[in-house]
Chains A and B, each alone.
Chain A
Amino acid sequence: MDKYVVDAMVRNRLDILNRITSLFIVKNLPVLTVTFTATENNMAVINLICLCPDEFIMKRIMNQANNFVDISEIYYTKAFNPKK
Chain B
Amino acid sequence: MKGVLLKDLYIAKSNILVTVVSLIVLGFGLSFLLETSALLVLAPVASTTAVFISITSDAGSKWNKNVIAMPVSRRTIIAEKYSFYLLLALAGLLTALIPCGLFSLFETDITLQSLWLYGTIGISATLFAGGISLPCAYLFDPEKSQIVFMMSFMASTGMIVALVLLINLFLPVKHHMLLAFHIVLAAAVLCFTASYQAAVRIYQKQDII
State whether these chains interact. Answer: no
**Chain B contact residues, CB within 8 Å of chain A:** none
**Chain A contact residues, CB within 8 Å of chain B:** none
